[in-house]
A and B are shown apart, each in its own frame.
Chain A
């Protein structure tokens, strides 16, 4: 989507290897989010950030870490990938407050852990 890009779009990795997914925004939004999407579960929040170096856990944070050293980049790291982390990962941004209550989502990263 315009203003937010995720990389890579697809990745296959082996169990036990570290993996980092990147979310980049050009909207200067304060808030950034990582969700995972799985059949039968909808979207579940992994971690979110409310500013540079300010992050917090979501509903399914175990096995994941995040970093935000710049406003525009939010990284999601799987320290040691497991098969249960096979999923589609979405990044989202939001400017919070004002009249804009919508989130803008990236196109997703399909991760397969074999």
Chain B
């Protein structure tokens, strides 16, 4: 079945450091890919998305490129801030060929906790 694998955490960085969180996926159809962020005590928020191969999603300085050849959707940010401390989830939603363009259910990775120190 479909699945998402993301790098184990926790990840601890100093402010202004470069961030990469790796995410790879397996899917049988034509997935859309997402990154969600969860701040302490809150629900998940959509951070960015990409719906087809070679698309780049970006938001708040974060970006991720949908790489079909490597089945990857790695999250990057050039300079992290303390306020970026959170748990980040990679997710996919599959689009089977005969699904009529509708979206499948979301499948999540296990999450990566990021802590940024001043």
Contact = CB atoms under 8 A, between A and B. Distances in A.
Interface in A22-67: 33, 35, 40-45, 48, 58
Nearest to B42: A107
B66 interface: no
Interface residues on B, range: 20 to 34
A103 B102 CA distance: 14
Given A40-B110, A101-B49, A101-B93, A45 B43 contact: no
Nearest to B6: A42
B44 interface: yes
B49 A102 contact: yes
B42 A103 contact: no
Interface residues of A, number: 24
Contacts of A40: 110
A43 B108 contact: yes
A33 B103 CA distance: 14
Interface of B: 32, 34, 41-46, 49, 51, 89, 93, 101-103, 105-111
Given A43-B108, A92-B106, 20 more contacts: A33-B106, A40-B110, A42-B108, A42-B109, A42-B110, A48-B105, A90-B43, A94-B103, A96-B102, A96-B103, A101-B32, A101-B34, A101-B51, A101-B103, A102-B46, A103-B46, A103-B106, A105-B43, A108-B42, A108-B43
